[in-house]
Structures are given as C-alpha cells and as structure tokens.
Amino acid sequence: MSTSARHKPKLILASGSPRRRELIALTGWEVEVRPVDVDESEIPDEAGIALACRLAEEKARQAARRFGDAFILAADTVVESDGEILGKPSSSAEARDMLFKLRGKNHQVHTAIALVAPGKTDVHLDVCTTEVPMRAYNEEEVQSYVRTGSPLDKAGGYGIQDGNFDPVQVDQMTGCYANVVGLPICNLVRSMRKLGMEPVFDVPSRCQAQTGYDCDVYPQILGIEK
C-alpha cells in the first residue's frame, strides 16, 4: 500500500448525526460536519432500500454542489418492518407505538451511503441491510425509555446502543452492528478504497472494540480472511 493512499482525506459528512461522526472516527479520517436539508418524504409504494438510496444520493449531490473540493459522504438509514417504513417518531406516543410494532419480531435496517470524490459529480452508492431481532420488552420498560427522549431522534424509535433499554437481542443478530447505529463503517471503507483511499486504522478491530459486538460480516464486505 502506498503511503499516499493512506493520507487523510478531507471528508465532508452531509449529516448532523453525532453517531455517524463517532463511527467515522474509527477510520482515522478527519471529518467536517456539514448537514444538508432535503425533503425526506416517501414516494408512494417506495421500498425501504430505494428510499434510503434516493435520499442519500440527494444529500450527496447537494453537498457536492456546495463543497466540491472534498470527499462528500452522505447517508440515510431506514427501518422497515413488514413492508412498513418507520421514520423518526414525532412524539412520545408515536415512539411507544413504533416500539410495540417492533417488539419480539425481526425487522430490517437499511443504510445507503453515497460518496462523491473531490471535483467529481458521479455518486458512488453502497447499501447495507441488517436483520434485527428485538426482545420482548414490557410496557414499563418502554415508558421508562420513552421518557428519556432518546427515541425521538432515531428511526424506528430506538438505538441499538442504548444500554439503558437494550432493545435488540444482539446475541441473536447477524450482520453489521454499525449499520443499525447509522453508518456501516466497513461498507464506507470499501467504497473509499474504490476511490483510492485507505483508512489509517484497522477498522474492524476498532469497531468491534467500541461496540462489543463480534462481527461476522466484515470479512465478506472487505474481502479479507477472518
């Protein structure tokens, strides 16, 4: 690997999510947060993956028009349960309803990442889907969690990393944990490699150390032996 390939790129994150910024930090790349606003309304009968890809691409294109001298990263995460898309709840009551829709069942979390290289217009898309098994939490647990306010800024009304609630049966989950947080970091590394950039650090090791999750999919994503 050439030294130049490991130089820290100037990376613009077109999202205000602190969780995405924390995950990008695992790579060693420097990131500047520059959120953009797009209309996130769904198109009738639009599938979850299609919605995530469309919104991530729109965010990336908008950011590229404003910050074209840097790598642009945009992402969109969609929670889908039985064909229904669950966005961020607008109220505590809606958060409670979402959590009970998900309770004791599997659902899918799709995250699309969109990259634009400096001075370019082509958008490079990658998508990660994780099958997420939820535990059978009770009414009291849900009410206590909703009172914290944490569900209100999260698609589906929950955070896999919220240890005070632990909504996900992580020991039964396969797939990318970071994807459920909001950014499949190994997919990002794979996409950046296609644009000639390597991470500074060993991302799978750092991700597993931070999340405490024994990941079984990073070898396939990154094309390496575990």
pTM of the model: 0.94
pLDDT at 13: 97
Calpha distance 146→158 (Å, rounded): 9
Residue 192 token pair = 């950046």
Domains defined for the chain, CATH in brackets: 4-222 (3.90.950.10)
Pairwise CA distance, residues 211 & 4, whole Å:
30
- What pLDDT does residue 226 have? 57
Res 145: pLDDT: 98
Give the catalytic positions in this structure.
76
- Which pLDDT score, from 0 to 100, does residue 68 have? 85
The per-residue pLDDT for 7 is 57
User: What is the structure's pLDDT at 6?
Assistant: 56
Selection from 99, 47, 108, 57 nearest residue 79 by Cα: 108
CA triple 161-166-170, angle to 5 deg: 80
pLDDT digits (tens, 9 = 90+) for 107-140: 999 999 999 999 999 999 999 999 999 999 999 9
Checking DSSP bridges between strand 124-133 and strand 106-116, what pairing results, if any? antiparallel
- CA separation for the pair 168, 183 (Å, rounded): 17
> Which stretches of the chain score pLDDT less than 70?
1-8, 226
Closest CA relative to residue 42, chosen from 54, 26, 33, 34: 54
pLDDT score, position 162: 96
Q: What pLDDT, on a 0 to 100 scale, did the predictor assign at position 9?
A: 73
pLDDT of residue 3: 38
Residue 86, SS3? strand
Per-residue model confidence (pLDDT) at position 2: 41
CA–CA separation, 127 and 179 (whole Å): 10
